[in-house]
């Protein structure tokens, strides 16, 4: 960002303040071809303002730009292209990375402000499916990226531990459950019971009434129903925590839906006090605006809904954490729900509602269709992780059988492959589940980036790299693309924060890996002893940034593979 700002400062002074500095920064581009320079500024907007041709303005401004960091400034048609001084920039960038280590790219953008992040949120008594992977890894990566940018993330696993589905499950367990089998393999057996309930309900619709009655008894505190619910919840948490531990993900709160049962009446009373509740066909709603349907707060039978619960959760979280932002990492299909909730909070007079954001993401599809636990069309995340780990271990045994800590590294590679496959995609897009694509060790994959870092670490070991040794940086044609990539890391982090999009970091580490591997293929780093340590400085900087980039995505960076 430093060199973009330097360019912007020169442009600001040269274009007679027709554009503000921020406007100039936003317009600066990176040319598609290296021979056109390192940065470019299009003059079309200035041409409209000054009523001159873009070509003439570009030539005029280019002649007025002078900076010690620029090797050349030239006008090419309507563009002003600048070429940075390679030796100066290389020295500054690599020295900064070697000095700051994993703090490179860190900023104080958030100034310590709290950001609550609602992520993962699986339903208890159901297995952790691939459908929950997206919220989990996107939310976790956002927490790490926000933390690097000076925010204080609060990770909240808002468990789905309440609702009519538990009445259905209790009914199914009472009708067909075998306690010994359920205790031996709780989640698998509960899933089978849940699926059986819906299959039987298609034939005998009265089962649905039984499920509703069972949930009503749970709400009223029936000891037997409550005991079953607690058992289902406890067993589920144990299974979830095993998977979270494998993925290296932790939470600051696991308060689920049930936690807010005693807090919803307060929300209803507040809405009544503010005269926001109105009756609609026996139900109680809040009119949001002309463009959205009313937000349903209480059903005709008096039961509360998800919106009531989320309003209670928002009030609790603001009182507890005093958040600057509140993020909800939840699928695209819930967009209307969150628009309604945020609007209701704003109508209640809470200005902080403007800082609440629904971080949407597409669905994880299987054969182009949505996965469904109800119909048994589900891929279990733990099975995918185990298969990925097994394949990683098989590859290690084939290519590096003497590697130490094979199981640990296989887990880091296998789990990382699954997580990276998700995070490299724009979060808003649907992803079709493909185990084969996730586990590839070449191309745009996590193992490719991890292997690139392991290769860099191997070179550093063989060259006995000494970071404190006084040597310059060798900046030849092959090294310059790496220097420019390294310089862009803080900007990639900044984009990820502003767009709430971890794929900005994932795409960045892929680009850096490709640049380094090309350099490795063209340069005999260890052969020229005179310049070896100078080249190793660049290799070390690459390893530092790849390791930190992977960490921000929740992945490990093994030094050997």
The pLDDT tens digits of the residues spanning 123-177 come to 988 888 888 999 999 999 999 999 999 999 999 999 999 988 899 999 999 999 9
The residue with greater pLDDT, 547 or 476, is: 547
Residue 75 Cα distances to 55, 64, 72, 122, angstroms:
8, 11, 10, 56
Residue 18 has pLDDT above 80, yes or no: no
Residue 371 confidence (pLDDT) above 80 = no
Give the pLDDT score at 377.
Answer: 62
For residues 189-227, one letter each, b for 16 or more C-beta atoms within 10 angstroms of the residue's C-beta and e for the rest, the string is: bbbbbbbebbeebeeeeebbebbbebbebbeeeeeebee
Q: Domains in the chain and their CATH numbers?
A: 2-84 (3.30.1360.70), 114-258+306-370 (3.40.50.620), 381-552 (1.10.730.10)
Span 99-108, average pLDDT: 97
> What's the pLDDT score for residue 174?
96
pLDDT surpasses 70 at 113 = yes
Q: Quick check: 413 pLDDT over 80?
A: yes
Residue 70 has pLDDT above 70, yes or no: yes
Q: Provide the pLDDT confidence category of residue 374 given band limits of 50, 70 and 90.
A: low
pLDDT tens-place string over residues 196-227: 999 999 999 999 999 999 998 998 899 999 99
Higher per-residue pLDDT: 467 or 23: 23
Residue 289 reports pLDDT greater than 90: no
Amino acid 327: pLDDT:
98
pLDDT at 295: 96
Q: Report whether 314 contacts 116 (CB < 8 A).
A: no
**How much is the average pLDDT of 386-392?**
92
The pLDDT of residue 320:
98
Q: Is 41 helix (H, G, I), strand (E, B) or coil?
A: strand
Instruction: Label residue 17 by pLDDT band (50, 70, 90).
Output: low
Do 417 and 439 form a contact (C-beta atoms < 8 A)?
A: yes
Quote the percentage of the chain above a pLDDT of 70: 97
* pTM of the model as a whole: 0.92
Cα–Cα distance for residue pair 418/439, rounded to 1 Å:
7
Confidence of residue 552 (pLDDT cuts 50, 70, 90): very high
**pLDDT at 513 exceeding the cut of 80:** yes
Q: What is the pLDDT of residue 441?
A: 66
- Nearest-CA neighbor of 450 among 414, 399, 494, 495? 414
**Cα-based angle 536, 86, 102 (whole degrees, multiple of 5):** 45
The winner for highest mean pLDDT among 11-15, 231-235, 382-386, 454-458 is 454-458
pLDDT confidence of residue 373: 54
Mean pLDDT confidence for 39-62: 93
**What mean pLDDT is predicted for residues 11-28?**
86
Q: What is the mean pLDDT of residues 102-110?
A: 98
The most confident of the ranges 7-16, 87-96, 321-330 is 321-330
- pLDDT one-digit tens code per residue, 442-462: 789 999 999 999 999 999 999
Name the residue among 448, 458, 465, 460 with its Cα closest to residue 550: 448
- What's the chain's average pLDDT? 92
Please state, in angstroms and rounded to a whole number, the distance separating the CA atoms of residues 311 and 316: 9
């Amino acid at each position: 960002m430093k060199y973009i700002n330097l360019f912007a400062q020169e442009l600001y002074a040269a274009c007679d303040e027709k554009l503000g500095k921020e406007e100039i920064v936003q317009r600066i581009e990176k040319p598609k071809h290296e021979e056109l320079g390192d940065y470019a500024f299009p003059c079309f907007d200035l041409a409209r303002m000054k009523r001159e041709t873009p070509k003439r303005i570009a030539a005029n401004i280019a002649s007025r730009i002078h900076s010690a960091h620029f090797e050349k400034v030239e006008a090419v048609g309507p563009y002003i292209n600048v070429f940075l001084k390679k030796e100066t920039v290389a020295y500054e960038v690599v020295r900064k990375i070697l000095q700051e280590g994993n703090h490179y790219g860190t900023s104080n953008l958030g100034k310590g402000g709290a950001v609550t992040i609602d992520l993962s949120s699986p339903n208890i008594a159901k297995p952790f499916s691939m459908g929950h992977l997206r919220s989990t890894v996107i939310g976790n990566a956002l927490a790490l990226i926000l933390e690097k940018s000076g925010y204080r993330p609060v990770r909240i696993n808002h468990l789905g531990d309440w609702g009519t589905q538990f009445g259905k499950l209790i009914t199914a367990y009472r009708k067909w459950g075998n306690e010994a089998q359920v205790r031996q393999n709780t989640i698998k057996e509960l899933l089978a019971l849940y699926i059986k309930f819906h299959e039987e309900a298609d034939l005998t619709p009265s089962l649905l009434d039984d499920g509703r009655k069972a949930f009503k008894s749970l709400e009223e505190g029936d000891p037997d129903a409550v005991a079953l619910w607690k058992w289902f919840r406890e067993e589920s948490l144990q299974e979830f925590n095993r998977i979270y531990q494998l993925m290296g993900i932790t939470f600051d709160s696991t308060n689920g839906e049930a936690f807010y049962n005693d807090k919803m009446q307060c929300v209803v009373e507040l809405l009544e006090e503010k005269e926001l509740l109105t009756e609609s066909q026996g139900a109680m709603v809040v009119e949001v605006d002309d463009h959205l349907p009313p937000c349903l707060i209480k059903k005709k039978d008096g039961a509360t809904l998800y919106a009531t619960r989320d309003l209670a959760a928002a009030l609790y979280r603001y009182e507890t954490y005093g958040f600057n932002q509140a993020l909800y990492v939840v699928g695209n299909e819930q967009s209307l729900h969150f628009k309604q909730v945020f609007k209701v909070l704003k109508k209640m007079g809470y200005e902080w509602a403007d800082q609440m954001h629904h971080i949407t993401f597409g669905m994880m599809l299987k054969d182009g269709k949505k996965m469904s636990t109800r119909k048994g069309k589900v891929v279990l995340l733990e099975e995918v992780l185990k298969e990925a780990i097994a394949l990683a271990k098989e590859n290690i045994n084939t290519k590096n059988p003497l590697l130490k800590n094979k199981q640990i590294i296989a887990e880091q590679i296998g789990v990382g492959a699954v997580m990276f496959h998700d995070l490299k995609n724009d979060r808003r897009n649907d992803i079709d589940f493909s185990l084969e694509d996730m586990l590839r060790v070449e191309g745009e994959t996590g193992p490719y980036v991890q292997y690139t870092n392991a290769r860099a670490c191997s070179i550093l070991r063989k060259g006995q790299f000494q970071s404190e040794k006084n040597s310059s940086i060798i900046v030849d044609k092959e090294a310059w693309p790496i220097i420019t990539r390294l310089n862009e890391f803080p900007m990639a982090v900044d984009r990820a924060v502003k767009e709430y999009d971890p794929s900005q970091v994932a795409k960045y580490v892929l680009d850096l890996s490709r640049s380094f591997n090309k350099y490795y293929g063209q340069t005999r780093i260890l052969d020229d002893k005179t310049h070896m340590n100078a080249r190793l400085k660049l290799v070390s900087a690459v390893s530092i940034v790849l390791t930190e980039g992977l960490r921000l995505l929740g992945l490990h960076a093994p030094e050997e593979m």
